Chain A
Amino acid sequence: QSVLTQPPSASGTPGQRVTISCSGSSSNVGRNPVNWYQQLPGTAPKVFIYSNSQRPSGVPDRFSGSKSGASASLAISGLQSEDEADYYCAAWDDSLNAWVFGGGTKLTVL
């Protein structure tokens, strides 16, 4: 059972907009910035959004992040086949003094 809650799966067709949610509590998402990671099969994760809504260089602007209270979201617009991957949210938890991850969302491009 992960501290942060994500839907196990999401899907969309090419060109569609998809959102992935990440629900936490006042000790983690509600208080600290959220990062989002993409993981392709057999590879190490890669940060796609940091500090709730910031995109590292090289990440397409189709990816965006937001946060409200103890919930965060990752939105992908203009869905492409190469976006098919696992996505994880993460935040520092002030009560646990540890980083906590969501359980991950497997995104399928139909």
Chain B
Amino acid sequence: ELQLLESGGGLVQEGGSLRLTCAASGFSFSDYAMSWVRQAPGKGLEWISGISGSSGYAYYGDSVKGRFTISRDISKNTLYLQMNSLRAEDTAVYYCAKRRHSAPQLGFEDYWGQGTLVTVSS
């Protein structure tokens, strides 16, 4: 069974850092691109980053570029999101998702994790 389990969310002060982890199982992790998508309380979805299946090439949304870094450890089937210089507006539920393609700019998210809440206090 395919599973995506996020962890690492919590309460952090503005300017602080947090690393989110997404443990993947049930599929060939290196064959597919992965995404991080967030949703602020009561707001819509925002794609923030994607990484390719094998090359590790990454893309970022403008709101997090230069502050967040996506990475993956193929040997551990794990996706990461390092979040630095956190702001109050980064408060959201963060979802990791598997894409049905090896390239992050193609396809769609076909499996999602349950989400992890990040709260940034000002």
Contacts and interface: CB of A to CB of B under 8 A. Distances in A.
Interface of A: 2, 35, 37, 39, 44-47, 50-51, 56, 86, 88, 90, 92, 96-104
Interface of B: 35, 37, 44-47, 50, 59-62, 95, 97, 100, 105-110, 112-115
A39 B37 CA distance: 13
Interface of A is mostly: strand
Given A2-B44, A92-B105, A97 B59 contact: yes
B108 A98 contact: no
B97 to A, nearest CB: 8
B88 to A, nearest CB: 18
Interface of B is mostly: strand
B108 A50 contact: yes
Contacts of B115: 44
Most chain A C-beta atoms within 10 Å of own C-beta, residue among B50, B106, B108, B115 = B108
Contacts of A97: 59, 105
A47 B62 contact: no
A45 B59 CA distance: 21
B108 A88 contact: no
B47 A98 contact: yes
A37 B108 CA distance: 10
B65 to A, nearest CB: 9
Nearest to B96: A44
Given A44-B114, A99-B35, 16 more contacts: A2-B44, A39-B45, A45-B109, A51-B108, A88-B45, A90-B45, A90-B47, A92-B105, A92-B106, A97-B105, A98-B47, A99-B47, A99-B50, A99-B61, A101-B47, A104-B44
B46 to A, nearest CB: 6
B95 A44 contact: yes
Contact of A98 (B44, B61, B100): B61
